[in-house]
Amino acid sequence: MQDAETVSKDFIRDIIDDDLRTNKYQGRVHTRFPPEPNGYLHIGHAKSICLNFGIAQDYKGLCNLRFDDTNPAKEEEEYVQSIKDNVKWLGFDWEDRLFFASDYFQQMYEYAVQLIKAEKAYVDDQTADKIAETRGNLTTPGTNSLYRDRTVQENLDLFEGMKAGVFADGQKVLRAKIDMSHPNLNMRDPIMYRILHATHHNTGDEWCIYPMYDWAHGLEDSIERITHSICTLEFENHRPLYDWFLDALGVYHPQQIEFARLNLTFTVMSKRLLLQLVDEGLVAGWDDPRLPTISGMRRRGYSPSSIRTFCKRIGVAKFNSMVDFEFLEYCVREDLNKTAPRFMGVLRPLKVVLENYPEGRTEELDAVNNPEDPSMGSRKIPFSKVLYIEQDDFMENPPKDFYRLAPGREVRLRYAYFIKCTNVVKKDGKVVELHCTYDPATKGGYAPDGRKVKSTIHWVSADQAVTAEVRLYDRLFTIKDPAGEKGRDFKQFLNPTSLEVLSDCKVEPAVQALKSSDRLQFERLGYFCVDPETTPQHLVFNRTVELRDSWVKKQKASQKT
Ligand code: ATP
Ligand code: MG
């Protein structure tokens, strides 16, 4: 699978090119995507997936899917499954290279023993709090633990005891013996193992000591013979430690490379925060279409190729920045414009009776399925005496710049006829029905006498219309960076009107042929998809994105200023 756009080079690919030139890894390129199965993946992970699997594709190398499951936590199985589904759905394949960090626990343990024997690791009895306290800070060196000079034999015995379950949680840790006055705080005797009497989703109760991220990650990369270990910027000052561990062991040594994580406006992108929204019922689950999760975007109707295009276009950089949510929507819209079949549907129906149309007659009119792609053909849509149009396509007292239907005014019904409004029926002051006449000579939408109308509106024939539920989504948050407000809970910024459910929408009968997750355009209303909750008796559509292109407008506006 390759996107049409040419692959643009970035600093990571430049490094790989250099390594290939110098034959650093014997011509191999081997990356990995290493999620921790503690939540569903989000669009930031999609960037990492596209980067790691994309590099493997470009260089005819390999990319592993590796679960970084060094932390025993609950419900991991569900997360593992969702992550596998998401990566596949995005269009990538790990073939037979699915790994779990927990499969390496024994090997990691043996490596730790090796470091103890080399006097490069020791068991410390201090509490985690005490260890943090004595670490010092940027201007003050840390202080050595009283236990730092234990003999090798004592350390080996204690570490074995830790593994055997002799000690309680938190009673002891294994630390690397590096330098308590190192300018990089990560190098001040970091913790390698902690005691945790917890059941692990993969290894059960076999282990009660669990490796820390910095210790484990490089080992995982080394064991899998990864060449380029790509991670996000916050690990930049962990790289000396990554290197130290591998050098101290004298094992195969991949290169860690850091890039800037993706941040998107009007959302949050940390699994910890997303979990709160899910757990507290503030959204309808991990696949809520308002969430930036891959499952949510999929349910909302985003296509995998639009997400890949987005990830490619935002590029790979060394500095953190915020990407406009509108740019993601732009990529989605661009893709759907080419691929989504058009239909007509009315969200808020207003009944229209054509006074001069014969009672009981039905015509079949031709409609184009996608003007962008003639190969998608055409379909028939029924037309009869009673129709529905959109409530806001009519105004009883229109202002000057309103060109749609109004008393005495003529408009075009898409693919059908010109109609003219002759009478307005009201109930309790509210417009409930329009009476119109149609001009039989304008079939197909053009007047033989050359007269023009100022607008074309969509409609659905009432007799054949199918009732549907439509879910409209707005931004989940009201501000650009809800997690970035110091001292404020991000949930305060949830948008109370991010979901609007319309239950009495009328759609043309042809949509009944669509299947769950199919994508479509309702003309003039936006792109939609069939929600998985749809049944033959109850159609449910999610609006993916509106048609209006605010991104392009915004770009133009910013160019002017
Ligand atoms: P979160 O903070 O959202 O939970 P994480 O970094 O803890 O993210 P992991 O499961 O550890 O999540 O990440 C798997 C991979 O995805 C890592 O290589 C990580 O660097 C990358 N990744 C995570 N978030 C982003 C992001 N916003 N942009 C780019 N890459 C990301
Ligand atoms: Mg994490």
Distance 36 CA to ligand 2 centre (A): 6
* Distance (Å, whole) CA 158 – CA 35: 32
* Residue 557 pLDDT class (50, 70, 90 cuts): confident
* Residue 76 pLDDT class (50, 70, 90 cuts): confident
Question: Which residues are 140's β-sheet partners?
Answer: none
Q: Quick check: 551 pLDDT over 70?
A: no
* Distance (Å, whole) CA 465 – CA 345: 9
Among 335, 319, 180, 183, residue whose Cα is nearest residue 263: 319
Q: Quick check: 553 pLDDT over 50?
A: yes
Beta carbon of 47 within 6 Å of any ligand 1 atom: yes
Beta carbon of 121 within 6 Å of any ligand 1 atom: no
The CATH code belonging to domain 271-341+468-560 is: 2.40.240.10
CATH architecture entry for 4-259: 3-Layer(aba) Sandwich (3.40)
Beta carbon of 37 within 6 Å of any ligand 1 atom: no
Q: Whose CA is nearest to atom 26 of ligand 1?
A: 44
Distance 209 CA to ligand 1 centre (A): 24
The runs of H, that is alpha helices, within 118-238 are 128-133, 152-164, 213-223
Distance 35 CA to ligand 1 centre (A): 7
Burial code of 368-396, b = ≥16 C-beta within 10 A, e = fewer?
Answer: ebbeeeeebeebebbbbbebbbbeebbee
Beta carbon of 555 within 6 Å of any ligand 1 atom: no
pLDDT score recorded for residue 422: 98
Contact 72, 169 (CB under 8 A): no
Q: Quick check: 3 pLDDT over 50?
A: no
pLDDT score recorded for residue 321: 84
CA distances from 418 to 152, 190, 292, 441 (A): 92, 77, 43, 9
Q: Quick check: 441 pLDDT over 90?
A: yes
Lowest mean pLDDT among 172-181, 336-345, 473-482, 550-559: 550-559
Beta carbon of 289 within 6 Å of any ligand 1 atom: no
Number of other residues whose CB lies within 10 A of the CB of residue 82: 19
Beta carbon of 32 within 6 Å of any ligand 1 atom: no
Q: Where are the domains of the chain?
A: 4-259, 271-341+468-560, 345-458
Which fold does the domain 345-458 belong to in CATH? Ribosomal Protein L25; Chain P (2.40.240)
- Rounded to 10 degrees, the C-alpha dihedral 486/489/490/491 comes to -170
pLDDT score recorded for residue 304: 98
Q: Please report the atom of ligand 1 found closest to the CA of residue 37.
A: 10
* Residue 2 pLDDT class (50, 70, 90 cuts): very low
214 alpha-carbon distance from chain centroid: 27
pLDDT score recorded for residue 558: 72
Q: Whose CA is nearest to atom 27 of ligand 1?
A: 44
Beta carbon of 48 within 6 Å of any ligand 1 atom: yes
The model's pTM:
0.94
pLDDT score recorded for residue 552: 67
Number of other residues whose CB lies within 10 A of the CB of residue 322: 13
**∠ CA 118-228-192, rounded to 5°:** 35
- Token pair listed for 282: 């503030």
Candidate from 33, 36, 45 with most ligand 1 atoms within 8 A of CB, to mutate:
45
Distance 476 CA to ligand 1 centre (A): 21
Number of other residues whose CB lies within 10 A of the CB of residue 278: 20
Distant-in-sequence, close-in-space partners of 263: CB < 8 Å, separation ≥ 6: 44, 269, 320, 321, 322, 323, 481
Question: In the predicted model, what is the mean pLDDT of residues 141-149?
Answer: 97
Torsion sign, CA atoms 327, 329, 330, 336: positive
Distant-in-sequence, close-in-space partners of 283: CB < 8 Å, separation ≥ 6: 277, 290, 291, 476
Q: Whose CA is nearest to atom 3 of ligand 1?
A: 270
* Residue 23 pLDDT class (50, 70, 90 cuts): very high
One fold for 4-259 and 271-341+468-560: no
Distance 215 CA to ligand 1 centre (A): 18
Average pLDDT of the chain? Answer: 95
Distance 90 CA to ligand 1 centre (A): 16
Candidate from 48, 220, 286 with most ligand 1 atoms within 8 A of CB, to mutate:
48
